[in-house]
């Protein structure tokens, strides 16, 4: 994959813009239509929502699709889909993103739509009540009525973290969602959706000069607003093992999650990446250490996964971020036996580090995976935007394969050594109402 040459500009209203032209997105021998990706990343996520308003960042993401002062409800959908494009948005710990992928001839339409809702979304009582109901149904579907729903990304933080910003349920409590008002929405928009709090990214088949002119045309008159400095959400590392329990009425088997604090992904990037490699050594593929020991050789679990990043992907948040390890096991095995085996594998890695073959395999998988992902315009657009917002360097996404390749056995050993039993969270999940299971899980 040929890496795009990045171009930057900042508008007088504070909007940061990244342009990444890519000739590979243009017409090909197969006749594929040229496309562009447009995304806007706002520097607001779960951690920014105030106490008493859990889930508000995600709720507001829904409201941004409900029309504007100049476009009626569902017009955004019709304009994008009518151009042959796709669109969506997502809420994360530290940012909210909106994107669309369109034929390159429809670039101006995409820019108009994003600028239009950045200027004035339609915040009405009707839209608010409707989207509160939509979000509640989404929570029922994805968490409350699903086995292992919210495990571990909702359930683990309250055990590992002590502050509201880091520990609360970012999906939202029903009471908090129902009590949200239009005035709350307007205040949230004024505080966090200023152009100076956002990054606009355009990738694909584009002419830089023409795209720049379109950006000025559509975003230049979005009023500037004061941007409140983002607070630091750091908190002390645990000084002991922290334990929690959760009863899941839909889970067929018990499970356990271990949570550890990671190095600062922005200020200590290489140490953070050593944990990314460590997670791959532990559970990436059938040859990984925990798969081999816990699934095939002993076996103790039916599923095991280790990962850097609370939301399922690395480099998706600022500090603090979470290394999490989850395992689903049978009642007769018990959580403590699984934890003991994990600790033994971490001790081995802390002592000896991974083998050269393990590191080579992981580097090859990472490089292939990143190139495969970034061949997709939508993934490249979103990753460039989040890297620019979180790290101030969209170029980081092109550097990751090389930086991962520089992680050595000693770096991974140091990362494993830092995952200490006396500085972690242990969350045990039990099928609700099964006393025999609960007793077995404590064995």
Q: What is the pLDDT of residues 64-108, one digit of tens each?
A: 999 998 999 889 999 999 999 999 999 999 999 999 999 999 999
The whole-number average pLDDT for the span 256-281 is 97
Bridge pairing between strands 424-431 and 255-261: antiparallel
Short-list 115, 101, 98, CA closest to 206: 101
Half-sphere exposure of 285 (CA within 13 A, CB side): 12
Q: What is the DSSP letter of 17?
A: E
**Domain extent listing, the chain:** 7-219, 242-441
The answer to whether 242 touches 156, Cβ cutoff 8 Å, is no
d(CA 253, CA 229): 45
d(CA 428, CA 438): 10
List the alpha helices (DSSP H) in 284-331.
Answer: 289-290
Residues with Cβ within 8 Å of 31's Cβ and at least 6 positions away in sequence, in order, are none
- Burial environment of residue 125 by CB neighbours within 10 A (0 to 12, 13 to 18, 19 or more): exposed
pLDDT at 309: 94
The answer to whether 18 touches 202, Cβ cutoff 8 Å, is yes
CATH topology of domain 7-219: Cytochrome Bc1 Complex; Chain A, domain 1 (3.30.830)
The whole-number average pLDDT for the span 305-311 is 94
Give residue 24's pLDDT band: very low, low, confident or very high (50, 70, 90).
low
Give residue 14's pLDDT band: very low, low, confident or very high (50, 70, 90).
very high
pLDDT at 311: 87
The answer to which of 1-5, 211-215, 439-443 has the lowest mean pLDDT is: 439-443
Residue 220 pLDDT > 90: yes
The whole-number average pLDDT for the span 110-130 is 96
The whole-number average pLDDT for the span 2-11 is 84
The answer to whether 246 touches 431, Cβ cutoff 8 Å, is no
Give residue 371's pLDDT band: very low, low, confident or very high (50, 70, 90).
confident
d(CA 144, CA 249): 9
The b-or-e profile of 312-329 (16+ CB within 10 A means b, else e) is eebbbbbbbbbbbbbbbb
The b-or-e profile of 397-430 (16+ CB within 10 A means b, else e) is bbebbeebbebebebbbbbbebbebebbbbbbbb
Q: CATH for 242-441, among 3.30.830.10, 3.30.420.40, 3.40.50.20, 3.40.50.920?
A: 3.30.830.10
Give residue 32's pLDDT band: very low, low, confident or very high (50, 70, 90).
very low
| Angle (deg, nearest 10), helices 409-418 and 269-283 | 90
Phi, psi at 56, each rounded to 5°: -70, -35
Phi, psi at 97, each rounded to 5°: -120, 150
d(CA 421, CA 227): 41
Give residue 139's pLDDT band: very low, low, confident or very high (50, 70, 90).
very high
Do the domains 242-441 and 7-219 match in fold? Answer: yes
* The two three-digit tokens of residue 394, written as one number: 């969209």
pLDDT at 23: 57
């Amino acid at each position: 994959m040929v890496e795009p040459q990045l171009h930057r500009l900042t508008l007088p209203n504070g909007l940061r813009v990244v342009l990444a032209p890519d000739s590979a997105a243009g017409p090909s021998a197969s006749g594929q239509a040229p496309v562009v990706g447009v995304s806007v990343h706002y520097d607001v996520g779960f951690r920014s929502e105030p106490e008493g308003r859990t889930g508000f960042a995600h709720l507001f993401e829904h409201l941004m699709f409900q029309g504007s002062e100049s476009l009626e409800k569902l017009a955004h959908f019709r304009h994008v889909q009518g151009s042959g494009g796709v669109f969506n948005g997502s809420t994360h710990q530290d940012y909210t993103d909106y994107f669309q992928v369109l034929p390159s001839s429809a670039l101006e339409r995409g820019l108009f739509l994003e600028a239009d809702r950045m200027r004035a979304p339609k915040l009405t009582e009707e839209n608010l009540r409707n989207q509160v109901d939509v979000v509640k149904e989404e929570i029922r579907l994805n968490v409350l009525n699903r086995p292992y729903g919210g495990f571990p990304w909702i359930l683990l933080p309250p055990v590992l973290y002590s502050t509201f910003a880091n520990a609360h349920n970012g999906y939202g409590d029903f009471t908090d969602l129902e009590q949200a008002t239009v005035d709350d929405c307007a205040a949230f928009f004024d505080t966090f959706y200023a152009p100076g709090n956002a990054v606009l990214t355009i990738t694909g088949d584009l002419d830089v000069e023409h795209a720049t002119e379109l950006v000025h045309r559509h975003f230049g008159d979005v009023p500037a607003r004061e941007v409140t400095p983002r607070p630091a959400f750091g908190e002390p590392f645990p000084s002991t093992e922290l334990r929690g329990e959760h009863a899941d009425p839909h889970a067929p088997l018990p499970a356990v999650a271990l949570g550890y604090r990671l190095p600062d992904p922005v200020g200590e990037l290489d140490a953070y990446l050593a944990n990314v490699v460590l997670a791959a050594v532990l559970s990436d593929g059938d040859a990984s250490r925990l798969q081999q020991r816990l699934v095939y050789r002993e076996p103790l679990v039916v599923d095991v996964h280790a990962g850097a990043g609370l939301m399922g992907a690395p480099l998706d948040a600022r500090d603090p971020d979470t290394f999490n390890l989850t395992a689903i096991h049978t009642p007769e095995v018990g959580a403590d036996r699984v934890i003991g085996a994990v600790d033994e594998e971490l001790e081995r890695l802390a002592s000896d580090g991974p083998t050269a073959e393990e590191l080579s395999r992981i580097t090859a998988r990472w490089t292939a995976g990143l190139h495969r992902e970034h061949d997709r315009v939508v993934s490249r657009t979103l990753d460039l935007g989040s890297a620019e917002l979180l790290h101030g360097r969209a170029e980081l996404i092109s550097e990751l394969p090389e930086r991962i390749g520089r992680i050595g056995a000693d770096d991974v050993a140091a990362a494993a050594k830092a995952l200490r039993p006396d500085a972690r969270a242990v969350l045990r999940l039990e099928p609700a109402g099964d006393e025999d299971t609960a007793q077995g899980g404590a064995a």
